Chain A
Amino acid sequence: MGGSGCGKTTLLRLIGGQLRAVGGQVEVDGRDLGALGTDDLYALRRRMGMLFQFGALFTDMSVFENVAFPLREHTDLPESMLRDLVLMKLNAVGLRGAAELATSELSGGMARRVALARAIALDPMLIMYDEPFAGLDPISLGVIGQLIRRLNDALGASTVMVTHDVHESLEIVDYVYFVSDGKIVAEGTPEEIRASSDAFVHQFINAEADGPVPFHYPAPAFGDSLLTRSAT
């Protein structure tokens, strides 16, 4: 967790190997990502699933084909078995009935659930979620939150979720790291986080403007800005 621009998504990209660390090491399943070639990285990624912030569904494919995509690319399953697997994944996110819809016919919440079904299509060992709650209505938010937890338990996978939605995420996660300016500034279980007296955690949980995280982008005094012609 952390405010916008603190480095949360960058961290996910480092874990997924989309970015290479210029310093230090990123290890996934005991393997140093910096030392992997393209083939080895792709082999590792077949065991990862990632939910992008806005779903990133393939717009030229139906809901069914989106979920079938990783299966078609990485397995030689017969069509009947592939169909069953896709319907199972769609059923897990409550969208089996939407299999034949085009992605343009989905609401934001539905698109996120389809992307979730696609992310778990290959039963990954590690699932990453990039802001899974952004822009969702309260019903979708609650449903997706519980779905993430249930899928994690059912698949026996590890889940890394990047979010700034404090209340929903504290309901479903096991452990929290707070990130600010690319550094971990606080960590703990949801109970420890709720009871924390740390100024950063307190500001974040209570959504306060005053605290270690400035609300305003650095700028000259407001009065000075009003008396000059420049934008700031």
Chain B
Amino acid sequence: MSAVAAVRRLGAMVTEGVWRLGFAARFFLMLLVYSGQSLRRVHLTIREIYFSGVLSLLIIVVSGLFVGLVLGLQGYETLQRFGSGDALGVLVALSLTRELGPVVAGLLFASRAGSAVTAEIGLMKTTEQLKAMDMMAVNPIARVVAPRFWGGVIAMPLLASIFTGMGILGGWLIGVVVIGVDSGAFWSQMQAAVDFRYDIMNGVIKSVVFGVAVSLIAVFEGYDCHPTAEGISRAITRTVVSSALAILALDFILTSFMFRGTS
């Protein structure tokens, strides 16, 4: 009997998963269809860039700085064993532009902005604001969902770039100012080793992909949540967990295509 119940539960989980996946795909399609309407009213998207991007600046700047400081300390400690302390700038810059910038900024973005977007849309659903909008012949996907999605997609690469810049500044502070690595070597080796298209653009592409993933998960979970306090709470949790897993999985896939056989 318990085996039958377990199989039934498994079947229900798979069915529910497939249904949600189908609904998410349909939701994404609707989002793209109504994005034109939404993007024509630029002020809506700019407002969301402010809420998702500008209000996330503090955590991005502080975290970027600390990640750079730690990277500088750990990097120098390892490099000096091989007599390559002067290559600290290269290590810091490549680590941040290729991996840490997009990934850590993505994780922070999901925690700070993704959860806020889910909570806001979820609460609008719970208090019937989305239904009221729909009854006023205003499509909630065009008016509420699409601007938040595109706001996140645009904000994410900018935040990742700021994170990377702050990280490099942190690495410089520790390496050059505190430890005493030669400033010229730090910057010139970095300039020589970091390729704009190969390193920086691939990092930007990653951050755009993470921005799409996190923003889509955030708006979908908010739109699809059960309209109760517990439903919103679970949706926020799902946003953070799913976004983190999506970022890490996508990072592996993108890295394997972008940097295959070069390191």
Q: A interface vs B, CB < 8 Å?
A: 16, 18, 38, 42-43, 45-46, 48, 50, 52-54, 56-59, 69-70, 73-74
Contacts and interface: CB of A to CB of B under 8 A. Distances in A.
A137 to B, nearest CB: 21
B137 A56 contact: no
B129 A58 contact: yes
B249 to A, nearest CB: 34
Contacts of A58: 124, 129, 132-133
A54 B128 contact: yes
Contacts of A50: 132, 135
Interface residues of B, number: 15
Contacts of A16: 135
A139 to B, nearest CB: 25
Contact of A18 (B124, B127, B135): B135
Interface string B128-170: 1101111111110001000000000000000000000000000
24 contacts: A16-B135, A18-B131, A18-B134, A43-B137, A45-B135, A45-B136, A46-B137, A48-B135, A50-B132, A50-B135, A52-B128, A52-B131, A53-B128, A56-B129, A56-B131, A56-B132, A58-B124, A58-B129, A58-B132, A59-B123, A59-B124, A59-B129, A70-B138, A73-B136
A73 B37 CA distance: 12
B127 A45 contact: no
Contacts of A56: 127-129, 131-132
A73 B127 contact: no
A24 to B, nearest CB: 22
A45 B136 CA distance: 6
Instruction: State the 3 A-B residue pairs at the shortest beta-carbon distance, nearest first.
Output: A56-B132, A42-B137, A56-B128
Given A52-B128, A58-B129, A73-B143, 5 more contacts: A45-B136, A54-B127, A56-B128, A56-B132, A70-B138
A162 to B, nearest CB: 14
Interface in B25-55: none
A69 B123 CA distance: 19
Contacts of A43: 137
A59 B136 contact: no
Nearest to A12: B135
A48 B134 CA distance: 11
A42 to B, nearest CB: 4
Nearest to A121: B136
A74 B133 CA distance: 12
